[in-house]
A = this chain, B = another copy of it.
């Protein structure tokens, strides 16, 4: 029994080691550049052993994505846990998104890898469920704030959307902007100098469009975001460093 758990621990330690080695390769070289031989070389184990832990390359990437999505989820948890009205808490989630965009670019790259044909087909169900679970938790956090806003009377009209569908819009705009920012090499060349600020403005306008109380002009919105960041940024950094430490 003790031996079994020791073995299990050893297994987990090695799985973590594989991910620790694979992550920087994936980030630097992309999915194609991530070579199993290279991973085997960099840790002191052979390829066969790696395949004892992960059935294929895709599952390694999925496991890395789970780590990154959990970072995002923990940032969200920090944001949602502040004591404030529903609109401010929603804005705090926006701050988490801004933080993730600015300071967790590597994690975003990993996340993006899995939004791709061929990754899902080859992997087994278990890691897929982990991803969905984490996605569902993130959604739950945000949808919870929407529900609270409704019950508090701060958000009256969803225009026929479910709370989750309302969240979907914010999810899409943040996720979309992050992808475009990363993969459109020359946004400034087509007139977009600060995508981050642009999305902040859009989120403000979107909240106003839904008449989520208290409505704010952009100046006030920015002031509140600054205040929120003063509180949240230390927490965000702490969460991120904690994860880095755990990962490395």
- B-binding residues in A (CB < 8 A): 29-33, 109, 112, 114-118, 120, 128, 132, 135-136, 139, 143, 159-166, 168-169, 171-177, 179-180, 182-187, 189-195, 197-199, 201-202, 204-210, 217-218
Q: A186 — nearest CB in chain B belongs to which residue?
A: B132
Which residues on B sit within 8 Å (CB–CB) of A204? 159, 209
Closest-by-CB residue of B relative to A184 is B135
Structural contact, A192 and B172, CB atoms closer than 8 A: no
Contact A169 B115 (CB under 8 A): no
Contact B176 A171 (CB under 8 A): yes
Residues of B contacting A210 in the complex (Cβ-Cβ under 8 angstroms): 205
B120 close to A162 (CB less than 8 A) = no
A159 → chain B, closest Cβ, in Å? Answer: 4
Cβ-defined partner of A169 (8 Å) among B116, B135, B194, B198: B198
Copies in the complex: 2
| In the complex, chain B residues whose CB is within 8 Å of the CB of A29 | 118
Shortest C-beta distance, A248 to chain B (Å), equals: 22
Residue of B nearest to A162 (CB): B191
Residue in B168, B182, B187, B194 whose beta carbon sits within 8 Å of that of A198 in the complex: B168
Chain B residue at minimal CB-CB distance from A163: B191
Question: Are B30 and A116 closer than 8 Å at their CB atoms?
Answer: yes
Among the listed B117, B120, B191, B193, which residue makes an inter-chain contact with A143, where contact means beta carbons less than 8 Å apart?
A: B191
Tell me which residues across on chain B come within 8 A of A201, comparing CB atoms. 159-161, 165, 169
Q: Say yes or no: B168 contacts A177, CB within 8 Å.
A: yes
Instruction: Find out whether the CB atom of B208 lies under 8 angstroms from the CB atom of A191.
Output: no
**Which residue of chain B lies nearest to A188 when distances are taken between CB atoms in the complex?**
B164
What are the 6 closest A-B residue pairs judged by CB atoms, nearest first?
A: A176-B176, A164-B191, A205-B209, A209-B209, A172-B176, A169-B202
